[in-house]
Amino acid sequence: MQASATPSLASNATSQTPKNILLGVTGGIAAYKSAYLVRRLKDAGFAVRVVMTAGAQAFVTPLTFQALSGEPVHTSLLDPEAEAGMGHIELARWADLVLVAPASANAIARITAGAADDLLTTVILATAAPVFISPAMNQQMWQNQITQRNLQTLRDYQFHVIAPDSGSQACGDVGEGRMPEPEDLVAIVQGHFQGQTAIQSTAKTNGILEGKHVVITAGPTREALDPVRYVSNHSSGKMGFALAEACRDAGARVTLLAGPVSLPTPTGVERINIVSARDLLAASDKIVEAGCDVFIATAAVADYRAEHIADQKIKKQGDSLTLTLVKNPDIVATIAKHAKRPFMVGFAAETQRMEEYARGKLETKQLDMIACNDVSRGDIGFASDDNAMTVFFSDRFGLEKVILDKASKKEIAARLVECLVHAGA
């Protein structure tokens, strides 16, 4: 199986009549990308008209968008040049799809509140066309609970919220909140009209897990030694959180069982925090008993825990300390034997003989699929934003292994979702 690529931007081949895209541009530095987005939408065969907010005009002039779209740019709610001065109704009826890119935190809040105090918000209220929101803002604004609540409300109202990219931002911060590249947004628009999966730069997939409940474990566990010390590992949780986003984007309902990590909860994902391996097993068992379709075990669970946890801080005594450790429960193997067993996906982080150990775990733990990476490599794995994996399937599927070359963890996550579907999850 080959990894999906961004769909061709060559033409809008879904119909002889071009589809009408109304692009809403709000105030933010990412507005400069929207100029190129207009060009790429036109190249793909779409008819494009642009609505600009007052804030957007502080970053890019309307004349720029007029030159690129070949259409007048709309900025006024009651346009005297529009039919009966009701430009917002004309635009709302004209649009086959409304795309707001960039969508600032302020614009998102106003759309969520049902504001109709400028042309863009009024059109959104007046249109029957699908509305796609592409947030772009500072990473801290993106993580703010108010912003996340607003976005979830928009999803509940059947708006399409496009996840932002991560990376360096104009303010100097690094994190989520970057507007996706224009080519990626065009691919999403094309995918909507073609009724097929649209892939972003992070290889997000839409709809292929629709109706599924996916449970994902992520991050490390901490096994207490005393009130201030514990045994753990270097897992950052990034791979599991990326998978949660990819499964969500593929249409699944996602429950994330997260060990102690400092990562924001992906929008639209239910998060349950755990600490120890026994916490994780109890939470996993409860969810599987209630019913789920896929169980993805990315968590780096500590193999051992202290036999006895000291009530008080262990004081320094001599040059050595002897601890007695006992084996922790094997969570993925236990869930694989559950009476309500879901499709089981394991992860293996190895430093040597990777394929041998991965295939062994696949068989002994009775898994359906396992993804393995070589954590001895310094450029992937723990704490890195990149990964590379090899995926193996149970013999009963008759599938060859799939090699996922080095890419961002978001890209790898989306390709793992494809592997899930490939195996019939």
Report which DSSP code applies to 212: -
Interhelix angle 31-43/182-194, nearest 10 degrees:
50
Q: Which amino acid is at 309?
A: I
Cα 30 to Cα 25, 137, 343: the distances in Å are 9, 8, 41
Sign of CA dihedral 12, 16, 22, 25: positive
Q: Which amino acid is at 418?
A: E
Q: Which residue, among 378, 394, 388, has the nearest Cα to 409 in the 3D structure?
A: 388
> Exposed, middle or buried: residue 231 (CB in 10 Å: 0-12, 13-18, 19+)?
middle
* Active site (catalytic) residues: 171
| Residue 281: partners with Cβ closer than 8 Å, 6 or more residues away | 329, 331, 334
User: Alpha helix locations (H) across 80-160?
Assistant: 87-94, 105-112, 119-126, 139-143, 145-156
Please tell me the distance from the alpha carbon of residue 242 to that of residue 409, in angstroms, as a whole number: 6
CA angle 407, 408, 410 (to 5 degrees): 125
Please tell me the distance from the alpha carbon of residue 132 to that of residue 24, in angstroms, as a whole number: 10
Query: What's the gap between Cα 194 and its chain centre?
Result: 22
Q: What Rg do the C-alpha atoms of the chain give, in angstroms? A: 24
Q: Is the peptide bond before 7 cis (omega within 30 degrees of 0)?
A: no
Residue spans of beta strands (DSSP E) within 119-212: 131-135, 160-161, 165-168, 174-178
| Residue 396: partners with Cβ closer than 8 Å, 6 or more residues away | none
User: Alpha helix locations (H) across 195-300?
Assistant: 238-249, 277-290
Query: What's the gap between Cα 314 and its chain centre?
Result: 42
Please count the other Cβ atoms lying within 10 Å of the Cβ belonging to residue 72: 15
